[in-house]
Every structure is written in C-alpha cells, then in structure tokens.
Copies of this chain bind each other. A is one copy, B any other.
Amino acid sequence: MANFGFPDLRLVEAYRVAADEARSGPHAEIVLRDSRDFSTLAEATADATLVIGTTSARKRDVQLEIKRLEDAAITVKQHSGRIALLFGSEKFGLSNDDMCHCHWLVRIPTVEGATSMNLGQAVAVTLYEMVRQAPKIETVESEEQLAPAGMLDEFTDRLYEALQLSGYVHAQNINEKLRRLARRMHLREIDAVMWLGIVRQILWKLKKEN
C-alpha cells in the first residue's frame, strides 16, 4: 500500500491481531499505524461509492460480474468517488456475505491451476495495476455522483423491512439478494435520495396500518 500510495487501510473484525503483529518496512509503518478498525464491512465501506471485491475464482456462485484486473483498472480510473477494494483472508477469501457488499469482483489473471495467491502479493499486484500508467481515457460523467454504499445499505434495509411487513417470504436470502439488486442499479446519489424517500414513505404507511 505504501509503495503505491494507498494510505487508507481499514480492518474489519478479526484482522486486528494480524495487523498488530505485522512487521513492515519503514514506509509502511504509517499505513499500519493509521489503519482503522470497523466491526462490520458495511461500516468500513459506508463512504465508498464503488466497492470492489477480490476473488481468485474465475466463476463464482454469486451473481456478480468478475472482471480481469486489467479491465477493472479502467473502470477504477474513470471513477471519481471513493473506492473500497476488499481483500478476504488468505485462506478463505471473501465470504458470500462480504460479496453482497460489492458492485463487482476483480480477479488477478493467474494461470489455470495456480489461482491462489499470497495475500500480500495479491494486494501489491492489484494496487500496482491501479497506479500503472495507462493511456488516458475520458472520464464518464455519470460515475461522478454515484451513491455511497451507506446509502445503498439504508435503502435495502428499509426495503427489507417493508417486504417483511408485506409478508414477502418467497425468496431465500432475500436480504443478500436485495443488496445485490441495489448495487446493480448503479444509483446516482440524487436517485438514491429519491428511492430512499419512496421506500420510507411506503414503510411509514405499512407501519401505520399494522
């Protein structure tokens, strides 16, 4: 992170011990020292307008697009908001629940049969690609005002509540599905505000009637 100029390390839950035990070069000390702990992934990513998960898999059960790192970097460079890049534990990677917080996934183009990478090396390669010099591409305007993840979570939480009050029980893992659904909307902040207003109004009515 220090080598490629990424200072903002956020740790979720169990990783504090590992971080305290981590030894680092002189440049990296400041990154570790300034790292912050969060108890949930939702809190850690609340201010991000784009949340990207990492995976070693080429295919995954989750209904999320998996981009090659090279392609992912283009999208990342076009994005002007804050981006969260999630790495799971070296052994297990990100859980399906973690992935529900992601807009899409990125994979490093490793060779078939040797897809599992050392965590530190995976981070280094990923961040290198993000700062790698590439041909200039015009920024896409619509990306600029995307809704932060905290707002998407608020929206899906309220929607979930409304569905429960409405007796919507068809689907399994409905909470997960709603999160993914919301992320596939590519909501701009201004639209997210409207959606929140809509769902809150409906929720208010549903609660009043019950």
- A1 and B163 CA atoms in complex are apart in Å by 47
Q: Which residues of B contact A28 (CB under 8 A)?
A: 114
- Number of A residues near B (Cβ < 8 Å) is 65
Nearest B residue to A72 via CB reads B135
CB atoms of B181 and A116 under 8 A apart: no
Query: Is A17 engaged at the interface, CB distance under 8 Å to the other chain?
Result: no
Say how far A195's CB is from chain B's closest CB, in angstroms. Answer: 7
CB atoms of B198 and A70 under 8 A apart: no
Which of the segments A37-45, A47-55, A80-88, A199-207 contacts the partner chain?
A199-207
Q: Which residues of B contact A120 (CB under 8 A)?
A: 118, 120-121
Contact flag A138-B205 (CB < 8 Å), given A2-B114, A27-B113, A181-B194: no
Copies, count: 2
Say how far A96's CB is from chain B's closest CB, in angstroms. Answer: 18
Within A140-190, the residues touching B (CB, 8 Å) are 159, 162-163, 165-168, 170, 177, 181, 184-188
Q: Which residues of B contact A3 (CB under 8 A)?
A: 108, 110-111, 114-117, 121
Contact flag A202-B166 (CB < 8 Å), given A120-B120, A138-B71: yes
Say how far A141's CB is from chain B's closest CB, in angstroms. Answer: 9
Q: Which residues of B contact A71 (CB under 8 A)?
A: 135-136, 138
Nearest B residue to A108 via CB reads B128
Q: Which residues of B contact A25 (CB under 8 A)?
A: 116, 118
Q: Which residues of B contact A68 (CB under 8 A)?
A: 133, 135
- A28 and B121 CA atoms in complex are apart in Å by 14
Query: Is A64 engaged at the interface, CB distance under 8 Å to the other chain?
Result: no
Given contacts A71-B138, A163-B202, A166-B205, 17 further A-B contacts (CB under 8 A): A3-B110, A5-B111, A25-B118, A28-B114, A70-B133, A73-B135, A74-B138, A109-B132, A125-B125, A159-B198, A162-B202, A163-B201, A167-B201, A167-B205, A168-B197, A206-B209, A209-B209
